[in-house]
Amino acid sequence: MEKYHFQKESHSYQGKITFGEKLTIHTTKKGITKLEIYDNYIQKQFIKRRVQKKYRKLLQMLLFYLQTDDDTGVSYHEALDKIEYFRQLIKNKYKAYLNEKQLDEMAKQLSQLKKSAEQKLLLLEAKAFERYKNEIENRRSK
């Protein structure tokens, strides 16, 4: 077997390339256009980094959605949809590549954010119901 050296962003791996399932990576014009990886260890490291990037972006987006002063609740619905999409993505696609500790941390943070979005949505619905109730009372009194 031949030995290959792989280095990217100050992370390096030196080992034997084995033939198994391959992982193909396509990026934009700035970086790698096509890279095929056959070693399972390197695949796991790449996928862990990808998932962590997606997770950080998701957290930033969710915090933005939850901090908005939206009276319609569209941002809260969007946040709930994004949370559910990411949970299903992890469950179906990336679960084999992440360890239990990472999965538990992600699940805890996502469940806290989900509860927060649901609570804010319930508050908005309660306010809307109170406004509707007050409008009906005002119409009856006139």
pLDDT tens-place string over residues 69-81? 777 888 888 999 9
Residue 113: the pLDDT is 92
Q: In residues, how long is the chain?
A: 142
Residue 95: the pLDDT is 86
Residue 131: the pLDDT is 86
18 found inside a domain: no
129 found inside a domain: yes
Residue 138: the pLDDT is 81
Q: What is the pTM of this model?
A: 0.67
107 found inside a domain: yes
- Residue 112: give the domain boundaries: 41-141
92 found inside a domain: yes
Tens place of pLDDT per residue across the chain (142 aa): 445 444 444 334 444 443 445 566 666 666 655 666 677 777 788 888 889 999 999 999 999 988 887 778 888 889 999 999 999 999 888 888 888 898 999 999 999 999 999 999 999 888 888 888 888 888 777 6
Please give the tally of structural domains in the chain.
1
